[in-house]
Structure 1
Amino acid sequence: MHPETPTVLKKKAAVVVAHPDDETLWAGGTILFHPQWDWTVAGLCRASDPDRAPKFFKVLQALGAQGVLGDLEDGPEQTPLPEAEVEHQVLSLLPAQHYDLIITHHPQGEYTRHRRHEEVSRAVIALWAAGKLEATELWVFAYEDGQRAYYPEAVPQATIYHVLEKEIWQRKYALMTNTYGFREDSWEAATTPLAEAFWCFHHPQEALQWLHTLSASL
């Protein structure tokens, strides 16, 4: 477990998530903590959502990031999507270039459960391992909810566990409540974590082996 430390180096970083708000909920503090980095956010769902999509781009302005939304099917039934479809969406949204860092979902999600989070994670790991996404590092969100026993919490044992400064957390919370418009008594507002955590990988095969180990344990 290591706290995150600021760096003066400008990194090119991408955050690949399922939905508008995932970038803020799970990594908003990290983005705000590194304003000098060149941030790109790709959300794979809700491009045609007349409420969430415009708010996403307002949030990106506040985060100092650029980004794009796709429109993968995202109905409440969470019908499984073909791996090839999710991978194609990632590649179609993310500019083809080398990134110093890509951040995405955990293969088991951040809470119990949302299938799109899991599918996006597996797609990003597979694309990185296949050389179709180029990145020096991959970070995946490290949160768990005790099988719905409590709101999702950052995992202290993760590679990076960073308790957010009060001012940064307040800015993140304001994006969730004021910009995205979630009520203060909503699940999203109550979940907004005070700490952010990530499992970090420097080699694609290491991440792929980790994914296989997780899959075998299910």
Structure 2
Amino acid sequence: MEKKNNSKIKCLIFLIICFCVFSSVSGAICIKREKSCPAPLTVEQLSHTDLSNASKLMIVAHPDDETIWGGAHLLDGGYLVVCITNGYNTRRAGEFRKAVEQSGNTPLILDYPDKIFFMRDDWSDCKEAIESDISLVMSAKHWDFAVTHNPKGEYGHIHHKMTNAITVQAFNETDSADKLYFFGDYYKASDIEKAGTSVIPEEIMQKKRELCGIYTSQERTMKKLAHMFPFENWKEYSK
């Protein structure tokens, strides 16, 4: 009888501990989510970014996306490159600014969440603020063209898909860019022959690889997507 009571007590203590841990983690996540979405970008804040040398607009979800999907294009210069996430991440934000500036362009990185406690954020708390920011940037001046992720999110990344939808909406509502382009189709390494022949000169490819090398924090991602580096077959959006 005593053994049964001890077992019940141990079980009860275990359940209490589990409940406390779950409550603590849940509370921390809620607090983190409250802090994860900054106030929308203001005209005054945007004015601190020099747009005088930018005639083209690129909008991406994460630091490194601009280089992976458009590094060869960026080497032409003249872009404002807007990254939606990771402005709060010192290392990734630093890599982004270095890559964009080294390619001869202007960086603007925002503070929206990428992952919260190792889980990808769904932007449900931030969507309106992100839409406001992208609309503000799109309408800041007249752009020769804008470019962003494709509707499939390249390999299906939800942030890429949402960035596409938000950018398309801003493009249609502001009428501030002559054209809108999407990053090219993604192919698995085993299907890369379907991508066709790369038209990027080797000299440019070497410079793109150097830009990719800046992202030491994303070495694994770079290796995983390296087969796509030679292909930047952007497609024009049609309403």
How far is the alpha carbon of 1:26 from its aligned partner?
Answer: 0.3
The residue type paired with residue 108 of structure 2 is V
Query: After the TM superposition, which residues 1-218 of structure 1 pair with which residues of structure 2 at under 5 Å, given as runs?
Result: 12-32=55-75, 34-35=76-77, 38-75=78-115, 76-81=119-124, 83-93=127-137, 96-111=140-155, 113-130=156-173, 132=174, 134-145=176-187, 149-150=188-189, 156=195, 163-177=199-213, 179-181=214-216, 186-192=220-226, 193-201=229-237, 206-207=238-239
Highest RCO, 1 vs 2 (Cα 8 Å, sep ≥ 6):
1
By percentage of residues, which structure has more strand?
A: 1
Cα distance in 2 between the residues matched to 1:182 and 1:171: 19
1:163 is paired with a residue whose SS is coil
Aligned to 2:35: none
Shift of 1:114: 1.6
Q: How far off is 1:190 after superposition?
A: 4.1
Q: Quickly say closer, same or farther: Cα 1:96–1:171, change in 2 above 3 A.
A: same
Q: Contact 2:103–2:211 (CA<8 Å) still a contact in 1? A: no
Between the aligned partners of 1:73 and 1:15, the Cα distance in structure 2 is 19
Distance 1:61 1:154 in 2: 32
Please say which structure displays the higher CA radius of gyration.
2
Query: Matched residues in 1 for 2:190 and 2:91: separation?
Result: 25
Shift of the 46–182 alpha-carbon distance from structure 1 to 2, 3 Å rule, reads closer
Tell me the secondary structure at the aligned position of residue 24 of structure 1: helix
How many Å apart are 1:167 and its aligned residue?
1.4
Q: List alignment gaps of at least 5 residues for structure 1.
A: 1-9, 208-218
The percent identity for this pair of structures is 24
Does the 8 Å contact 1:60/1:66 carry over to 2? Answer: yes
Q: CA RMSD in A?
A: 2.7
Aligned residue identity for 1:96 = A
Tell me whether 121-130 or 80-89 shows the greater mean CA deviation. Answer: 80-89
How many matched pairs? 181
CA gap of 1:13–1:86, structure 2 versus 1, over 3 A, is same
| TM-score, with structure 1 as normaliser | 0.73
Assess if the C-alpha contact under 8 Å between 1:143 and 1:155 holds in 2: no
**Counterpart residue identity of residue 51, structure 1:** R
Pair 1:116–1:151, CA change in 2 (3 A): farther
TM-score, normalisation: structure 2 = 0.67
Distance 1:68 1:152, change over 3 A: farther
The 1-side partners of 2:207 and 2:108 are apart by 22
Distance in 2 (CA, whole Å) between partners of 1:102 and 1:88 is: 17
Distance 1:126 1:63, change over 3 A: same
- For structure 2, the 5+ residue unaligned runs are 1-52
* SS of the residue 1:110 aligns to: helix
Return the letter of the residue paired with 1:180: Y
